[in-house]
Amino acid sequence: MNVENSPIFLQFSELGVHLKNEAKQEIEIISWDKIKKKELALWSKLTTERHRVDLLTIEILHSDFLLIPLEYDTQLYRIGFLEKALGLEALHGKELHEQPIHWIESNLSYLIPSEWKDFASSLFPLAKIQYRHIIGELLAKNKQPKNRNTARLNLYLQGKFAFMSLFQQDKLQLANVFKYESPLELAFYLHSIRDSFDVLLTREIVHIHSSGAESKTTIQSLAPYNILI
């Protein structure tokens, strides 16, 4: 009997490896420290055998990225743009990846720590591995026709980072990551976006997703600050 190969989707962040817990319908995070001590900590959570994984998709949740319009994006200047935006040491110990964002005529350049890539290769040695970045996914949410004529603020919270994109009238206004220490600090930043771009912080405009219990708690804590999601 032939057994079909299985695709796997994971997220990598500074907190560890994120995978969907089908039973609880939520994202579970296994820390890098736990994985390094006992790789079975991850394998026990997966529902397929290693040799049957033919495609591994990894979504990167990391703050080192830069969205570059196509008219300015050349190999000659790309590294210089990244070093200027992220710092001269930003590329140390990391590898550069690109994700075309055709619908806004831009390329998303982002960095992945080399140790994350080494881990992925050792985890699934027979699989084809494809990477993408969370910002690219947030930008893609505006491709749907029903989203193009209204303001839309997409956020993804992970740990102490808020990844976000803002569109108004089908035009990109913001693609950024904000590091916060408390729900109040995040609320202050969101209200600064409201004032700068004249958008309402309502559930029709603001669409928030998250991974991890801490991020879910943060979302629940935003209501007292007049962020109605």
Encode pLDDT of 4-45 as tens digits: 567 889 999 999 999 876 655 677 888 888 887 765 667 777
43 and 85 belong to one structural domain: yes
- 7-16, 138-147, 198-207: which has the minimum mean pLDDT? 138-147
Q: What is the pLDDT of residue 95?
A: 94
| Single residue among 137, 160, 182 that ends a domain in this structure | 137
97 and 169 belong to one structural domain: no
Domain that holds residue 8: 1-137
pLDDT digits (tens, 9 = 90+) for 144-155: 656 566 799 999
Q: Given its phi and psi angles, is residue 191 left (phi above 0), alpha (psi -120 to 50 degrees) or beta?
A: alpha
Task: Provide mean pLDDT across the span 60-87.
Answer: 89
Q: What is the pLDDT of residue 211?
A: 79
115 and 201 belong to one structural domain: no
- Which SS3 state, helix, strand or coil, does residue 83 take? helix
Is the pLDDT score of 205 beyond 70? Answer: yes
Q: What is the pLDDT of residue 49?
A: 73
Number of domains in the chain: 2
Is residue 140 within 8 Å of residue 146, measured between CB atoms?
no
Q: What is the pLDDT of residue 187?
A: 95
Task: Provide mean pLDDT across the span 79-99.
Answer: 90
165 and 112 belong to one structural domain: no
Q: pLDDT class for 3, splitting at 50, 70, 90?
A: very low
Q: What is the pLDDT of residue 178?
A: 96
What residue has token string 């991890």? Answer: 212
Residue 198: give its domain's CATH number. 3.30.420.260
| Single residue among 85, 105, 137 that ends a domain in this structure | 137
| Single residue among 137, 167, 184 that ends a domain in this structure | 137
24 and 94 belong to one structural domain: yes
123: which 2 tokens?
């985890």
45 and 15 belong to one structural domain: yes
114 and 150 belong to one structural domain: no
Task: Show contacts of 25-31: CB within 8 Å, 24+ apart.
Answer: 27/210, 27/211, 27/212, 29/211, 29/212
pLDDT digits (tens, 9 = 90+) for 164-188: 999 998 899 999 999 999 999 999 9
High-pLDDT (> 90) share of the chain, %: 49
Mean pLDDT, the chain, whole residue set? 86
High-pLDDT (> 70) share of the chain, %: 90
6 and 23 belong to one structural domain: yes
Residue 3: give its domain's CATH number. 3.30.420.250
103 and 174 belong to one structural domain: no
What distance in Å separates the CA atoms of residue 13 and residue 16, rounded to the nearest whole number? 5
